Amino acid sequence: MELGGYDYPVRRLRRSGGASCVTLPLQVRNSLALERGDWLVFGETPWPGLAAFVKISAEQYERIAADGRKEFRQLARKVQGKESTLSVAVPSAIRKILLAEPGDHLIFGLTPQPGVLSISAIKGGDGSTGGRRSG
């Protein structure tokens, strides 16, 4: 994931239809080969203020959710949007870990595990040009 140029993987957390949503940067979409209808499952990490997430297919989500795992359903969110602009609602439990409120910026990063990306909040500041451009 390149952190150069005008498209830093930083996006603003915003309110949309009663949920806190974030537009997924191009680097995240490409790294996970995300499409509308995929699911992201968020989780806590050992480091304060840092969360991680992975992509699962709709079929995987249905199989796991059918087992009645309430905690899993609370941390899984469906990727929404158009093909060129994908977004996801950030679960409230993850927002608490990140200490993020709508209007704060979220930065996405790589982890040592393939297919697992990290997310953390940036408090204050205007963010990058890419973050301002896509909201």
Per-domain boundaries in the chain: 10-134
The answer on pLDDT for 21 being more than 80 is yes
Mean pLDDT calculated for residue range 110-135 = 72
pLDDT, residue 82, reads 86
3-class state of residue 66 by DSSP: helix
CATH number of 10-134: 3.40.1550
pLDDT, residue 8, reads 75
Higher-pLDDT residue of 125, 25:
25
Burial of residue 11 (CB within 10 Å: 0-12, 13-18, 19+) is buried
pLDDT, residue 4, reads 47
Mean pLDDT calculated for residue range 25-45 = 93
